[in-house]
């Protein structure tokens, strides 16, 4: 019984750490209600993708979105990206003749937003 409980708890922790975002083409992500408070900084980059850290201010979410959903396959449909962050991602992937795909956001310990992107072939 004890082993089943421990195994169940481990699986729950692992499921909570798994990426729940739906990848979206950067050009499809809205920038209407969000701005950066700090200059975006690329924290990791290579030909496969990049991560950008910044402080943001947003003016709310789309009425149709519920940003507090959990374990949803459509979690990042509410996320928006500041224009300057989108430009950094698109320009980085364009150098490798690929398109930028938004993978989702995380929040760092210092409450900064960390946006993750992958660079994918343009025909996908």
How many structural domains comprise the chain? Answer: 1
Q: With 50 as the cut, is the pLDDT of residue 116 above it?
A: yes
Parent domain of 42: 2-120
pTM of the model: 0.71
User: 27-33 — which CB contacts under 8 Å span 24+ positions?
Assistant: 27/86, 27/90, 29/79, 29/80, 29/81, 29/86, 29/102, 30/62, 30/80, 30/81, 31/80, 31/81, 31/82, 31/83, 31/86, 32/80, 33/58, 33/59, 33/60, 33/61, 33/80
Residue 81 CA to its chain's centroid (Å): 9
Is residue 97 over pLDDT 50? yes
* Residues ≥6 apart with Cβ < 8 Å to 103: 19, 21, 23, 49, 76, 116, 117, 118
The one-character DSSP state at 27 is G
Question: What is the pLDDT confidence band of residue 25, given thresholds at 50, 70 and 90?
Answer: confident
User: Is the model's pLDDT at 13 over the cut of 70?
Assistant: no
The answer to whether the Cα torsion of 123, 92, 107, 31 is positive or negative is: negative
33-51 pLDDT per residue, tens: 888 999 999 999 999 999 9
For residues 71 and 47, give the distance between their C-alpha atoms in angstroms, rounded to a whole number: 30
Distance (Å, whole) CA 35 – CA 80? 10
- Residue 8: the pLDDT is 67
pLDDT in tens, 63-90: 556 555 544 445 556 678 999 999 999 9
pLDDT of residue 2: 74
pLDDT tens-digit map of 103-115: 988 888 888 999 9
In the predicted structure, residue 31 carries a pLDDT above the cut 90 = no
């Amino acid at each position: 019984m004890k082993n089943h409980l421990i195994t169940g708890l481990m699986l729950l922790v692992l499921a909570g750490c798994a990426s729940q975002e739906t990848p979206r083409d950067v050009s499809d992500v809205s920038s209407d209600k969000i701005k950066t408070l700090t200059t975006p900084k690329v924290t990791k980059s290579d030909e496969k993708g990049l991560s950008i850290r910044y402080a943001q201010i947003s003016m709310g979410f789309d009425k149709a979105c519920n940003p507090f959903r959990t374990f949803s396959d459509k979690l990042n449909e509410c996320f928006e990206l500041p224009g300057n962050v989108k430009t950094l991602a698109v320009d980085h992937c364009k150098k490798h003749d690929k398109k930028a795909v938004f993978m989702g956001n995380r929040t760092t310990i210092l409450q900064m937003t960390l946006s993750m992107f992958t660079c994918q072939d343009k025909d996908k």
